[in-house]
A and B are shown apart, each in its own frame.
Chain A
């Protein structure tokens, strides 16, 4: 690879400094809250929950300490317990599997399709007598094929938990993800499209029983100050984080639309005929709102492309090079985790690459990324 001259433009993946360039309005809201000092279960948390339920079109929302704990508690709320199997994907962040493992249940991995989400056609062969739930992941912000998944789940009377940690605002024919199954888990981690100043998450559900259970589980199982109905967790969303969430709530649509616009620009740039033998974009289905938490595609010579982009000060990433079933954590299980053939997941992990797509990117920066990729392949820079 021939290093070209030093770039005059940078494309960082992270954008938090730009986003919180002026934290004053949020800090002012903090000051209001400091007058009350209700750091746990303050009124801003209730406000945040009402906003999120309304936004997603769900009956209930409950704040949690993280997306991981949102998943964990949803699994428990639908009755998944030790030794039970949960059908999910290996193409995900480690927390999806961590949530399952943390309640002593076991993942059963099924392969994905070209959109990097669960292949519904493989679910039925993964169902065993121990299967207690199906957990598709709306990976990268791309909705999984929920209609097909729900049809199979309903036939087998299995609850569906949606891992929507990457997918706030994602929809299928106008219906928000997280509302197809029994419940949806969301993350508001600083790197998420809707983000707060630390770890955080929430669940949504239409099911009163599931909601009531989560409310108990996240606060030690306490019915009131002195009485415990069941042993749970301390997995509350802090009031101060809810304040940040409330402030950003009004921006969710703008943030998402900007990311979608950025992705469209990438799509058209990367669909150039000269790139077709090197780059495979995932299918874009009509009726789906992909919210581009990550803009991903498959690239030939991926690792050299990554190095080249980084050399050009374009902060590309790989989410992730090692699928969950090939992690040391999976390989060292005394009883191996269940899985279908996962060859597509494995192939994708070798080729997948993520470009910066955040809302603070300019058209110029996106064009620079596209040009750089064209230059890489046009000049055969992997050699």
Chain B
């Protein structure tokens, strides 16, 4: 049986909604900052329970602009986790700041207990990453941030439609950054991203920042960027926003199946759950001892898996100038050798999930 990690074809092929969206766009030909973008921004803000959302060209630049608008610049430090996709650190570096890493806990998210000792007079912001679609411990993080007057920017690039209590990701900090990349739970037909905020001031500024700093056609308030979200991509994402909650439910249901099936295998660590938290499984990550062997075994059994990610950010060549070394973040480092992401997308069938579970079980017996 073949179990693909991802099935975009099932999502996009022969989709009648796609045709009517394109027809609409061609009736106005407003490919840049067109009306469909505003509609999507409105719907996205509503989904996240915030007054404002701004479409940008990708999740990396969503983070970058969120950092910039909250005042992060050269000489500043930003606290984040070392086990994210490297774009988290990339956005901090693009803003001219130093990525100050803090180790994670068993939930793969930043350890709030270790944040305070990483704060110094240069620290300006905290970027908790809701890795795998699991919200970071925002109450504790927000308390620390408030005490030290730091901005909190949620890296929600993997965490659309997750929540703590009634509050959705994207509404849990000062700003939230999302990705609409084709591999994300809410995706579009190319790169895309969103920023959420409750602040009118940030919102107004972000509208300028993504569009060259232009206040109108002729006048630039400051020099900035071209980080717009194409109308076309906003419309494709908007087509799917109504279904996102159903997608999350299916992915979470798959996760429950995995949990049930894998619980009790001594060598397998299944994801932690917290009471009152709605996860939105973007990746389903387990830890095992003989990771690389298992990947190979699953591959032979038709199961495609991934590692998110095998090399922590602080140990990458690009990070050398920051002076980190092996051993600095032991939890994240150990996880990077043990983690494996199983297929969890919404087009999986139950028998496929059973096949994955059975394959892992039979591997562990070997």
Is A227 close to B, CB under 8 A?
Answer: yes
A229 and B318 form a contact (CB under 8 A): yes
Contacts of A320 in B (CB 8 A): 217-218
Check if A228 is an interface residue, CB within 8 A of chain B.
yes
CA A229 to CA B320, docked complex, whole Å: 10
Q: Chain A residues near B220 (CB, 8 Å)?
A: 94, 98, 324, 327-329
Decide if B226 is an interface residue (CB 8 Å cutoff): yes
Within 8 A of A (CB), among B119-153: none
Contact with A along B222-234 (1 / 0, CB 8 A): 1111101011110
Residue B35 at the chain A interface, CB threshold 8 Å: no
Which residue of B60, B90, B223, B313 contacts A94 across the interface (Cβ within 8 Å)?
A: B223
CB-defined contacts of A329 to chain B, threshold 8 Å? 213, 220-223
- B60 and A233 contacting across the interface, CB-CB below 8 Å: yes
Interface stretch, picked from A34-42, A140-148, A340-348, A361-369, is A34-42
B331 proximal to A (CB < 8 A): no
Per-residue CB contact flags for chain A residues 303-336 toward chain B (1 = under 8 Å, else 0) read: 0000000000000001011101001111010000
Q: Quick check: B182 and A198 within 8 Å, CB to CB? A: no
Contact yes or no, A94 B74, CB < 8 A: no
- Mark interface residues in B161-199 (1 if CB within 8 Å of A CB, else 0): 000000000000000000001100000111100000000
B86 at the interface (CB under 8 A from A): yes
**How many residues of A are in contact with the other chain, CB < 8 A?**
60
Which residues of chain B have C-beta atoms less than 8 A from A250's C-beta? Answer: none
Asked if A288 is at the interface (CB within 8 A of a chain B CB), the reply is no
Q: Is A241 an interface residue (CB 8 A)?
A: yes
**Contact pattern, A 54-93, Cβ under 8 Å of B = 1, otherwise 0:** 0000000000011111000000000000100000000000
The answer on a CB contact under 8 Å between A322 and B212 is: no
Shortest beta-carbon distance from B230 to chain A in Å: 3
In chain B, positions 61-97 with a C-beta closer than 8 Å to chain A are: 61, 74, 86-87, 89-90, 93-94, 96
Q: Check if B9 is an interface residue, CB within 8 A of chain A.
A: yes
* Set of chain A residues within 8 Å of B222, measured between Cβ atoms: 328-329, 332
Q: Is A11 an interface residue (CB 8 A)?
A: no
Of the candidates A40, A66, A221, the one whose C-beta lies within 8 Å of that of B190 is A40
On whether A234 and B191 interact (CB within 8 A), knowing A199-B32, A199-B57, A229-B317, the answer reads yes
Q: Is B17 an interface residue (CB 8 A)?
A: no
Judged by a CB distance under 8 angstroms, whether A16 is at the interface is: yes
A197 to B228, CA, bound (A): 13
Contact between B31 and A40, CB atoms less than 8 A apart: no
Tell me which residues from 187 to 226 in chain A have a Cβ below 8 Å from any Cβ of chain B: 189-190, 196-199, 220-223, 226
Contact: B223 with A230, CB < 8 Å? no
Q: Which residues of A contact B190 (CB under 8 A)?
A: 39-40, 238-241
Write out the residue numbers on chain B whose beta carbons fall within 8 Å of the beta carbon of A272.
none
Q: Is the beta-carbon distance between A221 and B13 smaller than 8 angstroms?
A: no
Q: Which of B86, B89, B191, B319 contacts A40 (CB 8 A)?
A: B191
A104 close to chain B: CB less than 8 A: yes
Mask: chain B, 270-304; 1 = CB below 8 Å from A; 0 = not:
00000000000000000000000000000000000
**CB closest chain-B residue, reference A17:** B29
In the bound complex, residues from chain B placing their C-beta under 8 Å from that of A17 are 26, 29
Q: Which residue of chain B lies nearest to A324 when distances are taken between CB atoms in the complex?
A: B220
A104 and B86 contact, CB distance less than 8 A? no
**B207 at the binding interface (Cβ < 8 Å):** no
| A238–B61 touching, CB < 8 Å | no
Q: Is there contact, CB below 8 Å, between A221 and B318? A: yes
CA distance A301 to B120 in the complex (A): 59
Given contacts A20-B29, A34-B13, A37-B182, contact A232 B90 (CB under 8 A): yes
CA distance A322 to B217 in the complex (A): 11
Q: Does B246 contact A (CB under 8 A)?
A: no
Among B25, B86, B228, point to the contact of A220 (Cβ < 8 A).
B86
Which residues from B are CB-within-8-Å of A100?
223
Q: Is A261 an interface residue (CB 8 A)?
A: no
Q: How far is the CA of A88 from the CA of B217 in the complex (A)?
A: 21
* A43 → B minimal CB distance (Å): 15
**B90 partner, pick from A35, A66, A95, A220, beta carbons under 8 A:** A220
In the assembled complex, the CB of A21 is this many whole angstroms from the nearest CB of chain B, namely 9
Whether A16 and B230, one on each chain, are in contact in the complex, defined by CB atoms closer than 8 angstroms, is no
Contact B226 A68 (CB under 8 A): yes
Please give the distance in Å from A120's CB to the nearest CB on chain B: 25
Complex: A236 Cα to B236 Cα, angstroms: 18
Q: Which 8 A-B pairs have the closest CB atoms?
A: A198-B230, A238-B190, A37-B8, A16-B29, A101-B223, A68-B226, A234-B60, A231-B93
Contact residues of B with A, CB < 8 Å?
8-9, 12-13, 22, 25-26, 29, 31-32, 57-61, 74, 86-87, 89-90, 93-94, 96, 181-182, 188-191, 212-215, 217-226, 228, 230-233, 307, 309-311, 313, 316-319
Q: Could you show 26 A-B contacts with beta carbons less than 8 Å apart?
A: A16-B29, A23-B26, A36-B9, A39-B8, A39-B189, A40-B191, A65-B226, A66-B226, A67-B226, A95-B212, A97-B223, A98-B220, A190-B29, A198-B233, A199-B32, A226-B311, A228-B316, A231-B86, A231-B89, A231-B94, A233-B61, A234-B59, A234-B90, A241-B230, A324-B220, A330-B223
- What would 16 more interface pairs be, CB under 8 Å, given A98-B223, A227-B316? A17-B26, A34-B9, A37-B9, A39-B188, A40-B182, A40-B191, A197-B31, A221-B318, A226-B309, A231-B318, A233-B60, A233-B90, A320-B218, A327-B219, A329-B213, A329-B220
